[in-house]
Chains A and B, each alone.
Chain A
Amino acid sequence: MASIVAVIASTHHPFYYRASTATGEDRPPFADEWTRKILAFRETLTRARPDVLVMVGSDHFHQLWLDNMPQFLVGKAPCYDANWYNEEREFGLPRMLLKGQEDLSGHILRAGLDAGFDLAFSNELRIDHSITCPIITLRPEADLPIVPIYTNIFAPPLPQPKRFVQLGQSIREIVESWPSHLRVAVIGTGHLSLELGGPRQFGPHGPDPEFDQRAVGWIANGDLDECLREVTLDSLHSPGNATHGFMDFMLMMGVAGAGVKADYVDTLDLFHTMEAYFTWYPNGAPTV
């Protein structure tokens, strides 16, 4: 069976690409520290020597729209074009082309449906920065086949937080039951406290640093019990109006397992939002 060699959870910050590649006067003062942290984070994936990446993210009203909105969707295609016109326009993100791992997509869909998740699917999916940001930070070669999984953290009504956790737990079991010798990394990105299009946006730090500190603690310690006690669909409005993206972190806590401490934890307090990076090694840390 396949093995999960790394579980990685991260914020996805669309400004990283431009900040890290800027030079001279255009280079923001925080770029060097940010780049150092990303290179260290990248090494946690490289050391695990993955063959396949399962990528959990959320479409930002690019391909998925209110006339036909899935809650959880799995891509099943040989290739995925990536990044959209408005992401090039606003963030300077490059167009990308990623290979798909269709056999694992099919396995996740079949086993997920049989496990009680009525997963939607897409055979032609153009993915956005929720998945390309971690490709850029963690695997900029973009050379590994992926299985994209999209969650709805964006267009209410949303699934309950516990459903994200349950899906993560099932993804862990399903990938580990995939009849393959390949080494799989499961990577998911979300947000800590975040405000977009509201009065608290683009402040000197994230809109709710206290929430961020508690959230980092929940993730680092795998504290699903307290996290699920504290976090509801209603409560997530308070830290910032886009904080429902935290539920993708909760999904990744489900993949990593209740009570399992992260092997790698790092954060970076930026303007607008706090960055956070976590890696778990289910089979023990690589010795390379």
Chain B
Amino acid sequence: MSKYLLNKFLFTVDRDPELVERYRSEPRELVAWWEAERANAVLNCHTGEASTWLRFDDVEREALATHDHVKLFELGAHPFLTLTLFIALFERDNTEPLEYQKSYGARLAHFSMPYPDIAT
């Protein structure tokens, strides 16, 4: 299990407008592409010096591929990263202010303290 890699996915997709749109429209394809092409990139280093060992486990891959922010919270993905990216994906569908943000919180209502550990 790699909370770090989940966070790396959320972090790198969130900052790229094209990837945000691909993740909204074709999440499973985008996750597969990202794991194959981007998961091992050392940020700020050229591609010849990529890492060799990073991959999702099945639960993580499925959570990302299904936009399952509740599962990502349970797995200990950083909640700020998840929230920021998911607002980018879905806030545009709001019919009233903060509609998505409130429903996002409501879907997490079954979690009580302490929340899943986010330390990496």
Q: A41-68: contact bitstring with B at CB < 8 Å (1 yes, 0 no)?
A: 0000000000000000000110001110
Q: B119: which A residues are within 8 A, CB to CB?
A: 156-157
Tell whether A117 is near chain B: CB-to-CB under 8 Å: no
Supposing A85-B17, A202-B101 touch, asked if A237 and B114 sit within 8 A by C-beta, the answer is: yes
Supposing A66-B8, A237-B113 touch, asked if A196 and B43 sit within 8 A by C-beta, the answer is: no
Q: A154: which B residues are within 8 A, CB to CB?
A: 80
Tell whether B33 is near chain A: CB-to-CB under 8 Å: no
Tell whether A181 is near chain B: CB-to-CB under 8 Å: no
Q: B65: which A residues are within 8 A, CB to CB?
A: none
Whole-angstrom distance between the alpha carbons of A203 and B88 in the complex?
20
| Smallest CB-CB A-B distances: 4 pairs | A197-B79, A197-B83, A199-B108, A156-B119
> What is the minimal beta-carbon distance from A258 to any residue of chain B, in angstroms?
31
> What is the minimal beta-carbon distance from A54 to any residue of chain B, in angstroms?
25
Q: Does the CB pair B111–A198 fall under 8 Å?
A: yes
Q: What are 5 sample pairs from A and B whose C-beta atoms fall under 8 A apart?
A: A66-B7, A85-B15, A86-B15, A242-B79, A242-B80
Grouping DSSP codes into helix (H, G, I), strand (E, B) and loop, the A interface class, with mixed when no group exceeds half, is loop
> Which residues 120-164 of A have a CB within 8 angstroms of B?
154-157
Contact check: which of B78, B101, B114 meets A155 at CB < 8 Å? B78
Q: B9: which A residues are within 8 A, CB to CB?
A: none
Supposing A60-B80, A66-B7, A85-B15 touch, asked if A201 and B101 sit within 8 A by C-beta, the answer is: yes
Whole-angstrom distance between the alpha carbons of A202 and B98 in the complex?
8
Q: A217-244: contact bitstring with B at CB < 8 Å (1 yes, 0 no)?
A: 0000000000000000000011001100
Whole-angstrom distance between the alpha carbons of A195 and B83 in the complex?
11
Q: Does the CB pair B80–A196 fall under 8 Å?
A: yes
Q: A66: which B residues are within 8 A, CB to CB?
A: 4, 7-8, 11, 120
